[in-house]
Chains A and B, each alone.
Chain A
């Protein structure tokens, strides 16, 4: 082996091991866990209180100016699942005698995978409210957010020539100039300015407020009603935490809520991506190394480029 080649191999081995170390050592360069913003808004849904009237589904459709998503009968607003026409849905879980309603909409993750997937922050987390907001002006329609969402919440208007992503934004368009005021232990907007589903719910099954207040309330309910609930607030820790929280009398998996660890979904991808591209140092170093090897090999390159010579 000639010395030049040996040196070239050494440089290559060096850069390869450097990039491998970066890729393989998420534990060392791990990205810090995300915390909810202090004013994080959210919802608390309680399966033991929901009567399945679907008033929230209709209210959501009206509040968001959606085309009605008719169910199998083609007449009534009766969506079976979230879709490009439905941002909020009530489903029924039934297993023998055991039943439970289930409300689905965006979970407003503390560490949203959809926003991490989005190239131009078309989906992004509001720094104050923590609402995961959508701005179609910067959306290219790549649907990476849908791939990334662990709850399959983000939906897309596949049937339209000019489609958009569709998902709950906690009725942020209704807030306007309204201010948060304390009301019955929760931070609330003046009626008509809060999330439509919560305002319309006749059973108090879904309420809104700050995540902090809702988490405390959920824990209070579990403590006050021993045996009534699965003793866990879904969303407290799942996937790094969500701003929409759930209390249930049946196991959460039965409601379609996946068992997720405490780590945010973007954790692995972002540890690697932000590790490798921090300050753009690694690509620049690799470019310099490649340039150096090529420069050393340029005599032979010259021969190769012989054909290029006039």
Chain B
């Protein structure tokens, strides 16, 4: 049975440390580049072109960023659907990471959209909706950001409950009561929506038809994207837990993360086996012995390497090996998404793409902002589980 050994608590301490200022500076630089992009157009800051209309902003910030934000989804599946309550302490920080991953993906989309000022029409003009998988992704992600916000709201309410302001106090109490009452239906939505849009992110690239290399073009693409986001979700949760423990001196959840890592290992091995079987059954095995094949081997090799680390019981008990394996799984999952959206996408020999410096600075800025918001949130609100580790002599 699940027993909650710990309640969430805020880290506390000053937010504006010197390293935090560096994060803010990187984010600000990205912000300046964004302003430049809005004033001067996409060509001024990016190497996006008519052959490669989607670059690093879509492949990384949106397609990978939302997968990195699947920790909340992946852990919720385990805790609430498979009824493994013991993982519950991981939920709240995972939801925060998800909210930031998705929220900033929305920001990146806005930067990427050439005609962003028309975006409001997408949810409003429902009579014009097509069956485009991208429409599904757009609407679903927008709703999911709201759901994540509601899922995380108890962290804010618990903080505000102790506020000296009576209005804020009663708002917090009402909010807590609301979330508690509709918990089941909010959670079900929090699992349904990622299932929908993560698979649709795979369906999206099926529409590029012959331009997507057959090593990646398969009717199973939506299913593979769904499995991939679960691997990445678990990886991120393990990494995030270890990094938080180191950075904020919290007690490590090594034992629990070891068990979670074993689940991640199983899903990763399933993904690799499924992927290879699909390639062979579609008669594309010969293509593995080409440059595109190398990309596939990197993508699957990283997942296998991560799984191999986790094969040994001893490694699963070691925080550093757990973190290493999680990193391998997350990078492997990322390479898969890059392969589908950039490497395996072949518009023709005349076209090439590599991100421009300002384009990269925007991506770096968004990542820095994400980390900065995470740090500020866990220092201010009760998100991380457990108490600070007792000081050692």
- Choose from A8, A119, A294 the contact partner of B129 (Cβ within 8 Å): A119
Within 8 Å by CB of A143, from B79, B83, B114, B220, lies: B114
Contact with A along B181-211 (1 / 0, CB 8 A): 0011101110110011001100111111111
A159-B43, A290-B81, A308-B176 given; A142·B113 CB < 8 A: yes
* C-alpha spacing A113/B115, complex, angstroms: 20
Q: How large is the interface on A (under 10, 10 to 19, 20 to 34, 35 or more residues)?
A: 35 or more
Which positions 223-255 of chain A face chain B at CB distance < 8 Å? 239
Is A300 a contact partner of B2 (Cβ separation < 8 A)? yes
Instruction: State in angstroms the CA–CA spacing of A295 and B81 once bound together.
Output: 10
Cα of A188 to Cα of B48 in the assembled complex, Å: 40
Whether the pair A307, B154 counts as a contact (CB closer than 8 A) is yes
Residues of B within 8 A of A150 (CB): 209-211
B392 within 8 A of A: no
With A144-B134, A158-B43, A305-B180 in contact, is A268–B116 under 8 Å at CB? no
Say yes or no for B291: interface residue by CB 8 A criterion: no
Smallest CB-CB separation from A284: which chain B residue? Answer: B192
How many chain-B residues does the 8 Å CB contact rule pick out? 84
Residues of B near A119 (CB, < 8 A) are 122, 129-130, 132, 134-135, 138
Q: Is the CB–CB distance between B136 and A273 below 8 Å?
A: yes
CB proximity of B53 to chain A, nearest CB, Å: 4
A144 to B195, CA, bound (A): 22
- Whether A120 contacts B348 by the Cβ 8 Å rule is no
A266 to B205, CA, bound (A): 10
Tell me whether B41 and A158 are in contact (CB under 8 A): yes
B80 located at the interface, meaning its Cβ lies under 8 Å from any Cβ of chain A in the complex = yes
- In the assembled complex, A139 has its CB within 8 A of some CB on chain B: yes
B187 to A: closest C-beta gap in Å: 6
CB atoms of B131 and A270 under 8 A apart: yes
Stretch of A18-26, A67-75, A168-176 that contacts chain B: A18-26
Q: How far is the CA of A301 from the CA of B187 in the complex (A)?
A: 10
Report which of B42, B154, B179 forms a contact with A158, defined as CB distance below 8 A: B42
Taking a contact as CB atoms under 8 Å apart, the answer to whether B348 and A141 are in contact is no
- Chain A residues contacting B200 (CB-CB under 8 Å) are 273
Q: Tell me, in angstroms, the Cα distance from A293 to B76 when the chains sit together.
A: 12
Do A155 and B118 touch (CB < 8 A)? Answer: no
Please, which residues of chain A bring their CB within 8 A of the CB of B119? Answer: 140
B118 (CB) vs chain A CBs: closest residue: A140
Q: How far is the CB of B356 from chain A (nearest CB, A)?
A: 12
* B184 & A308 in contact (Cβ 8 Å cutoff): no
Give chain A residues whose Cβ lies under 8 Å from the Cβ of B165.
none
Q: From residue A110, how far is it (CB to closest CB) to chain B in Å?
A: 14
Contact yes or no, A269 B133, CB < 8 A: yes
Q: Is the CB of A5 within 8 A of B130?
A: no
The verdict on A116 contacting chain B, using a C-beta distance below 8 Å, is yes
Tell me the interface secondary structure of chain B in the complex. helix
Interface string of A294-310 (1 = CB under 8 A from B): 11011011011111111
CB distance from A249 to the nearest CB of B (A): 23
Q: Chain B nearest CB: distance from A137 CB in Å?
A: 7
Taking A156-B50, A273-B200 as contacts, is the C-beta distance between A163 and B39 under 8 angstroms? no
Contacting B191 at CB < 8 Å: which of A115, A140, A290, A310? A290
Would A258 and B41 count as touching, CB distance under 8 A? no
Q: Would you give the shortest CB distance from B61 to chain A, in whole angstroms?
A: 14
Q: Which residues of A contact B54 (CB under 8 A)?
A: 143, 147
Decide yes or no: A120 and B114 within 8 Å by CB, A277-B136, A294-B188 being known contacts. Answer: no
Given contacts A161-B39, A270-B131, contact A304 B50 (CB under 8 A): no
A215: CB under 8 A from chain B? Answer: no
- Supposing A118-B132, A120-B130 touch, asked if A291 and B203 sit within 8 A by C-beta, the answer is no
With A120-B128, A152-B348 known as contacts, the answer to whether A309 contacts B180 (CB < 8 A) is yes
Q: Are A274 and B131 closer than 8 Å at their CB atoms?
A: yes
**A120: contacting residue among B7, B129, B161, B345, CB under 8 A:** B129
A141-B115, A157-B41, A161-B39 given; name 17 further pairs at CB < 8 Å.
A120-B121, A120-B125, A140-B119, A140-B121, A144-B132, A152-B347, A158-B48, A158-B49, A277-B136, A283-B192, A293-B81, A297-B80, A303-B85, A304-B88, A307-B158, A308-B180, A308-B183
Supply 11 A–B pairs (Cβ within 8 Å), ascending by A.
Answer: A24-B219, A81-B350, A115-B130, A120-B125, A120-B129, A150-B210, A163-B42, A265-B210, A269-B206, A300-B2, A307-B8
List the interface of chain B (C-beta within 8 A of A): 1-2, 4, 7-8, 38-44, 46, 48-51, 53-54, 79-83, 85, 88, 91, 112-116, 118-119, 121-122, 125, 128-136, 138, 154, 158, 161, 173, 176, 179-180, 183-185, 187-189, 191-192, 195-196, 199-200, 203-211, 217, 219-220, 222-223, 345, 347-348, 350
Closest 4 CB pairs of A and B: A141-B114, A141-B115, A143-B53, A269-B206
Binding site for B on A (CB under 8 A): 4-5, 8-9, 12, 19-20, 23-24, 26, 81-84, 113, 115-121, 136-144, 146-148, 150, 152, 155-164, 239, 256, 258, 260, 265-266, 268-274, 276-277, 283, 286-287, 290-291, 293-295, 297-298, 300-301, 303-310
